[in-house]
Structure 1
């Protein structure tokens, strides 16, 4: 008999049980479910809704259920549908009918919402930390390459020379926005839905503030209908995750390109590459490719949930069971990608000579020749035309700008003097961009310092919040009673 089966005259069809059950995936939240129940029953005792001796029995029973699950002594049953009913059934088997009083004043609707809030706020904390670790790895690598010059690209065509460290710091900037988005979304995750009941609250004189305080929530849902039907907090997480994965995918795309023989800018450590079953010489950047590939599933998880929610009437609907698998999958995908990319960046080697070679065999200093002419008094649009003709002549003669003699330069413009060679030198070109956001070494050092400070603030934020919300730190909630 189902725990809710009192008004039914026959058991559910086996196919219905299999189709509607969520225990195969929501069992992942068993710790959160037990913690929520511990807080709930403690509140029932504090408010006099249940006598304290029964409260203590239930708390002790929940602790025993927890220990049995940890020891692998129990099996979650499909017949009990979900993690909530499975744990309640285990509790009743452990302490008898009094275990059935645990559900007083709550519904599975607010219970499952609580579990997801508890689960997601902890996982988001870890993802923020892992993102910061990747930031640090990129920043450390950038600080090692403040003199390494590489081509900067637009349209995947060489555009202007930049420092390799400068290029890496662009990804640090992206990750900073990702971290800030997750921190902002975390505020709306850390809101208590428990106490909303099925949709309209409860007739029992519960104390939601007490539960919020026990579970370290910063706020409480004001409207109970909203509390049980809201999945915005998951959508925000999935949206932030999709952007984060987009940034990781762009980084991985460049790692794949840079590690090719055609570019040969970097070499990834053997520990993060694989080989070919037929071609002995191959060293494939599979990890980077797979991170790039898994980005699609994170996008899919976001659009899947948005589609589920778009036409739902208030309040709870069974459709909302589809909110969990995509959330779990996104958490797993991000954990894997971030955990692998950090040591990949730390251990990759950089071919400084190859990078420098490329910027001496192109026309990426052409803009600087135009700027040089501007400093000599020529309007930029005219300077642009002069340099364009000089580049065309060089292409026809199979040479580069710095290969031209002064006489050849002056054939294009008499304003060009002997100092042009210094102006077009690679180091000069890079360090001439000494403005905020520029690629000059001095500016990259400022960027590194600014983001190291930002990472320090992230570490402080994590320290201030993580000790309160990690599920293991809450497992003894209610014990003082």
Structure 2
């Protein structure tokens, strides 16, 4: 006579686990968010079992009906999750078995090892779809902001020092490129997540003639895994996804840093809307870019999630080990954090005003066109290193005499280089200087407009 045990795996045990062990090993409090993927996988598995004769048609229909009822109850918030049943899989299976005797047959040919791997792959695929939409939304917000400020020039910076003039739109389009690489990484990561592990069992498959390809087709997987050991222990697809998220978080942090700097009184290039800023509890005059600052801070959190996952799997032997229960919270946090940040940052971009007068003043410094003078000398046949030295000496003279580079008399230029021509100095018009940048990828207005048109066309399809 079979003995009773509170667990679904307790046949060889004389008693259930200690209450402390139950609390310590449970995962249902966080993995219950996988219920839709778990139920979809179970229905597909049951459908396949009916095709190979393990389940009758009536049993399959009872299982399908029961699982859909459970899903509806979870959606409505009326389903009772039980910690004693450890995880999302056992909670759903136990509840199903209480509703129909056929539920006891559902676990035929599968283990929680390949079941959770399947759930996570389905979840990752679904979340990547959401991510791609959010990233496209961020790109559209940047394009919109750039399009409203096509005539605004700002200093471009290296080492956070003014370097050369660029259009604000060109600066914003740089982030569009960055977020598009993020999209590309996610698309690539989804390819490696798009593999069905179900049917691999605990580690060595099954003696039951399972039709894995049928399950893969039902669930929308491109193919099935080729090695059962790898299938249940592989978390590369999660690491890759977490890595892609970390890079996205870094890009968001860099954008946030630019916005924080630009909104400071020292720069004053932009004004972030009140809805996306906060005040000080002490200083009534303060308006703080908290959304951007929190975005910058959250990048460290997402990077930490990646590091935690890498550390988790680095020393594990083949195949499944219970350590892997710890993978979900880290990936969930990584995904939730990046998705929320993308959403709020995109919304904030629509509520930013540009202070054009301040930007114009900042870009009016003739020193920003020093390299253009060197280039003009090169076109006259002067070797670049010589041209660089000539302009550098002219800058030094200006610093001593406290005049602008554009105000340095031709006579002083000729003291540095007697053969210098007056037309070489005809470069101190910033818009004309940028118009001369004709190469693909350069910050000339013609190139920016072409790039904007290209991005609008591409994003219209996303």
- TM, length-normalised to structure 1: 0.92
The separation in 1 between residues aligned to 2:37 and 2:128, in whole angstroms, is: 15
1:72 aligns with 2:77: yes
Give, in whole Å, the separation in 2 of the partners of 1:294 and 1:399: 45
Count of aligned residue pairs for this structure pair: 457
| Alignment check: 8 A CA contact 2:312 2:323 kept | yes
Deviations 1:93-122 (A, max 9, x none): 222x32111111111011111111111111
The equivalences for 1:45-444 within 5 A come to: 45-95=50-100, 97-361=101-365, 363-444=367-448
Q: What SS does the corresponding residue of 1:364 show, helix, strand or coil? A: helix
Q: Which moved more, 1:399-408 or 1:316-325?
A: 399-408
Instruction: State the 1:309 CA deviation.
Output: 1.0
Structure 1 stretches of 4+ moved >4 Å: none
Q: CA deviation at 1:232?
A: 0.6
Which deviates the most, 395-404 or 306-315?
Answer: 395-404
Aligned to 2:42: 37
Deviates more, 1:412-421 or 1:52-61: 412-421
Q: CA deviation at 1:72?
A: 1.9
Structure 1: tracts of 5 or more residues without a match: 460-481
Q: Distance in 2 between matches of 1:94 and 1:38?
A: 15
CA displacement 1:13-68 (0-9 Å, x = unmatched): 11111111111100111111111111111111111111111111111111111122
More off after superposition, 370-379 vs 31-40: 370-379
Which residue pairs with 1:11 in the alignment?
16
TM-score by length of 2: 0.96
Tell me, in whole angstroms, the C-alpha distance in 2 between the residues paired with 1:377 and 1:205: 79
The 3 A distance-change label for structure 1 pair 452 and 362 is same
| C-alpha deviation, 1:377, in angstroms | 2.9
Structure 1 residues 17-32: aligned runs within 5 Å: 17-32=22-37
Picking from 444, 452, 456, the partner of 1:452 is 456
Residue deviations 1:163-203, cap 9 Å, x none?
11111111111111110010011111111111111111112
Q: Secondary structure at the match of 1:365?
A: helix
Deviates more, 1:22-31 or 1:441-450: 441-450
Residue of structure 2 in register with 1:479 after alignment: none
Counterpart Cα distance in 2 of 1:15 and 1:101: 30
Contact 1:274 1:284 in 2 (8 A): yes
Larger CA deviation: 314-323 vs 67-76: 67-76
The higher relative CO (CA closer than 8 Å, separation ≥ 6) is in 1
Q: Is the 8 A contact 1:91 1:99 kept in 2?
A: yes
Partners of 1:168 and 1:273 in 2: CA distance? 21
**Per the alignment, do residues 319 and 362 of structure 1 end up closer, same or farther by CA in structure 2, a change over 3 Å counting?**
farther
Deviations 1:126-185 (CA, angstroms, capped at 9, x unpaired)? 101100111111122223333211101111111111111111111111111110010011
Residues in 2 aligned to 1:174 and 1:68: alpha-carbon distance in whole angstroms: 42
User: Contact (CA 8 Å) 2:373, 2:427: kept in 1 or not?
Assistant: yes
Conserved? CA contact 1:235–1:306, under 8 Å:
yes
CA contact (8 A) 2:366 2:428 kept: no
Moved more, 303-312 or 140-149: 140-149
CA-CA distance at 1:410 after TM superposition: 3.3
Q: Is this contact kept in 2: 1:376–1:415, CA < 8 A?
A: no
Gaps of 5+ in 2: 1-5
Contact persistence 2:377–2:424 (CA under 8 A): no
State the distance in 2 between where 1:406 and 1:27 align: 76
